Amino acid sequence: MGYINYRIINPLQEIRLYAKLVEEHLEEQIHLVNQRCAINSSMEDTWENIFDGRSEEIHKYSGLPEILRNSLLVSIFSYFENQLVLLIKSIQINNNIELNLSDLRGTGIEKTLIYLRKICGMDISFDSKNWQYVKNAIQIRNCIVHNGGDIEEYSKKTELRRIIGKLENVFEGGNYIIVVNNKFCFEIIDVMELILLDLYKISFEHGLLSE
């Protein structure tokens, strides 16, 4: 249990805390903007000037949620992929497996899954509910990383729109840009935790890892 806490539970708690701090910061900024706009509105001024001032204030913070949440999303996936690689290395060392992850074709998380299934003999696939969620979220992450979240520029935009239609906490905003709300990153963290705990459970039960 100590190993699991060190590898999975504790780091994910830190990521959750970071996500919580991000959302608290965003709420604080929204509150401050509303306060400043209320003060401006109470001053003697033309409605036109008040509106212009409010627009400038709102515009200054309008991109902040997107920047912070997208950055957090990318960091979460980086952690997850790193944990899969660490699990593979541990199994490889514990079982004297000569084939390295780099010897397989493919990229990222999908390649680690192939290694765990084909080389380590673990009964896992993308067919489960949690893996399907991750698979869909990968497309969200890829569009953000490679296309700045612009759905129209994404190579699989039809599939991506289908995925977004299934997810409760991801939307297509103005100018075809992906918008994730304040629940999406927490949702992904929870799913990834379940997957990692399950992978380690299977590894210990099948003797691929030892306590």
**Count of residues in the chain:** 211
Partnered with residue 211 across adjacent β-strands are none
Average pLDDT along the chain:
86
Return the pLDDT at 131: 93
pLDDT over 70 (residue 44):
no
pLDDT over 80 (residue 47):
no
Residues 6+ apart with CB under 8 A from 110: 126
pLDDT over 80 (residue 71):
yes
Q: How many CB atoms lie within 10 A of CB 150?
A: 15
Return the pLDDT at 18: 93
pLDDT over 50 (residue 48):
no
Mean pLDDT calculated for residue range 26-54: 59
Return the pLDDT at 26: 83
pLDDT digits (tens, 9 = 90+) for 152-196: 999 999 999 999 999 999 999 989 999 999 999 999 999 999 999
pLDDT category of residue 125 using cuts at 50, 70 and 90: confident
Instruction: Report which of residues 25 and 87 the model is more confident about.
Output: 87
Mean pLDDT calculated for residue range 78-103: 94
d(CA 63, CA 158): 25
Return the pLDDT at 4: 79
d(CA 198, CA 195): 5
pLDDT over 50 (residue 43):
no
pTM to 2 decimals? 0.84
Classify residue 5 by its DSSP letter: I
Would you kindly state where each structural domain of the chain is located, as residue ranges?
2-205
Instruction: Report which of residues 12 and 46 the model is more confident about.
Output: 12
As a three-state string, the secondary structure of 34-91 is HHHHHHHHHCCCCHHHHHHHHHHHHHHHHCHHHHHHHHHHHHHHHHHHHHHHHHHHHH
Q: Which of left, alpha, beta for 51 (phi over 0: left; psi -120 to 50: alpha)?
A: alpha
Mean pLDDT calculated for residue range 85-113: 91
